[in-house]
Structure 1
């Protein structure tokens, strides 16, 4: 039985561990944190949606939605174990202008079997009572003289996708995968720091730990989230990568919802591509984040362990953009929410691939939008690793992967480390 060491016990690493163990691999997961899902996974907004800008990602998201709909069945844990809950609300995507981008996405939905409903501007009020229907785009920074000033025209309309919602506890979802993987024989080692890699005859052979121990491995998978770029440099595998990844600092607001509605129970997931924010229900009321408009600069972080967790004007900007659309939003006097990191790639699409070091694989660059894909990524990476280790040249002849639930086949070259920047991507958390 071949041994695989997976670095990272977040939602992606846990799913890969679970699926590889079910396929007959002996799996060890190492993570520097004290628990599964303790890093960027626990800070995820955990939105489940099927609308993306790239065909393959839409297909994977629709497939992923089927697993979240029956999460308890997927992890198959004893009744006394707590299970993360998926709350289906649907996603309302608001757009400005004539909605050409949404036309492309709805055409993809028609091809893959995704469900949607087009709405005129006034249809937004069905989901967001008293929403301001004026267009505010393109987005501006707070120091712009026209910040918060509406345009003369209304938004173009919206598209509602019912196959969407959010997971109530992303960290618990990662722990669910840990428990399911342990049932399959996986070993998890926490508070364990990787210091290097052993290579024998040009193939990875082990993982060196900070305590001096060497974990033998036929395969190593880098699922380190914001720490993945450092691990790739440590392994010396960045030389042939045309797509790179970097930790990207983000702020998210958790505040009371609009005073005119019970957003905790009646709200939907919103992606406002005019005011440039996203929202989802939360026990506090509403969770607000940025859709990364062009005017916003990105804050890249060299050391993920040294990120500044204090709130800045980014928090205020996000909340004020939300208040443009939701004028009855209750804005507290003190910032609350979280500061966390995306593992962002150059085109905001993930890298699921082999590397220039035989036996070393990466599942990284998840860019804040791959939480919903986790069960599919586990199966995809198992397929990729198994066939590559059996001798298939994935670089020369990219593998294809058939999605089990929907039957659609996707080309894994889409997620290659050696791809060109994908022009179809939104280059944002919206993928």
Structure 2
């Protein structure tokens, strides 16, 4: 059973998939987005912490995040629509990133911020106190598990200070933001199919030719884009391209804790984002005057790679471990008896940097391996992926001559080859959600 043909099929209706659909539609492509769940952003995007931050260890990472930042500031104008369900919005909080030997005291980060002209403050431990409620700024590194008898015991008199980046914050509702992009894409001609599972990538004359659905439907298109998040490796296997990629992806199970803020502290409205590599956790303010707490994947914590269709969705000791690590830094943080937060998946690449690329199957493209840190970059990724598709479909060899993408907001060209599937593992990576 064949349905109508499209110019491009996007597998995955998360924030990045919908951004690609929107940008392709703006270029005149008739697109179809397919998702196995019931709506836009229902997958791992819904569980995103939606943090908008500019601190990365590479100039490319900072440049892309800087570009994305302006899209979020300009959100309704960029989408040229108002979603009847409401519009997500960016809330600025500022971010304080802790120095440690683990992150080279943020020297590469500051160098990259300097290269992009991003303003920041270097803070001494004493200066950090104004941003935190009654903090303990001793060092607890290296991180430990709760069953370690030395868990929570300081190992040094003081951490090394921090870098504060005022242009940082988060988006109010990641799922709503994805719906916003869906509405914008529909307004320029995109179609969407939900509760629909892709079971095969069709091939004809040595290139992608569409998809087969679980109900037997065949949908033809000369361009297929894999934006399937934690399921991306499964789609790559359908296309027969995984074995030819030097960098691969896997689904990683993660837990995020929500803990009440200390008594008398309005953390929801006055709190900041923190990235504490000394204790191995990051935080941001959360609705309900809570502190959202995620892991920076310290070496002592096992990484839980899973089948994205069959994994433990219950909380484990990991949730409390993360909360207790923040309580080392903020002793007044209340740790409730009842666990609260979420369990979700990251689509993790071998070096925790994304793959934005063509593949060895002509017509089949990759926007995968987002590793829990690419939500913020979705709008510019949509823009340059649409250009990459045009570039390759016009006969250019992106592997030999990578696309040089001129950014919309900042005066900089980004070498999209940096995100190649065939790159060597980036040893400058944090090998964590930090990227």
Bin of the TM-score, shorter chain as denominator length: over 0.9
Matched, 1:269 2:273: yes
C-alpha root-mean-square deviation of aligned residues, in Å? 1.3
Query: Partners of 1:233 and 1:4 in 2: how far apart?
Result: 19
1:341-360 matched pairs, under 5 angstroms = 341-360=345-364
1:29-178 matched pairs, under 5 angstroms = 29-78=33-82, 80-96=84-100, 100-178=104-182
* 8 Å Cα contact 1:260/1:328 also seen in 2: no
> How far is the alpha carbon of 1:169 from its aligned partner?
0.5
> How far is the alpha carbon of 1:81 from its aligned partner?
4.5
Provide the residue aligned with 1:12 in structure 2: 16
**Alignment partner for residue 238 of structure 2, among 225, 234, 252?**
234
1:304-343 matched pairs, under 5 angstroms = 304-343=308-347
* 8 Å Cα contact 2:58/2:108 also seen in 1: no
Query: Partners of 1:421 and 1:92 in 2: how far apart?
Result: 28
What per-residue deviation string (whole Å, max 9, x for no partner) do you get for residues 25-84 of structure 1?
111000000010000000001100000122211100000001111212222223744000
Matched, 1:298 2:290: no
Query: Partners of 2:117 and 2:172 in 1: how far apart?
Result: 26
1:169-208 matched pairs, under 5 angstroms = 169-208=173-212
Provide the residue aligned with 2:25 in structure 1: 21
* 8 Å Cα contact 2:140/2:156 also seen in 1: no
Provide the residue aligned with 1:288 in structure 2: 293
Query: Partners of 2:412 and 2:70 in 1: how far apart?
Result: 13
> How far is the alpha carbon of 1:409 from its aligned partner?
1.1
Query: Partners of 2:322 and 2:88 in 1: how far apart?
Result: 28
* 8 Å Cα contact 1:118/1:159 also seen in 2: yes
> How far is the alpha carbon of 1:405 from its aligned partner?
0.4
Structure 1 unmatched ranges of 5 or more: none
Q: TM-score, normalised by structure 1?
A: 0.98
Query: Partners of 2:399 and 2:215 in 1: how far apart?
Result: 35
Q: TM-score, normalised by structure 2?
A: 0.97
Residues matched between the structures, number: 430
Query: Partners of 1:44 and 1:99 in 2: how far apart?
Result: 24
Query: Partners of 1:103 and 1:390 in 2: how far apart?
Result: 41
Structure 2 unmatched ranges of 5 or more: none
> How far is the alpha carbon of 1:140 from its aligned partner?
1.2
Which secondary structure does the structure 2 equivalent of 1:41 belong to? coil
Which secondary structure does the structure 2 equivalent of 1:166 belong to? strand
* 8 Å Cα contact 2:33/2:193 also seen in 1: yes
> How far is the alpha carbon of 1:97 from its aligned partner?
5.0
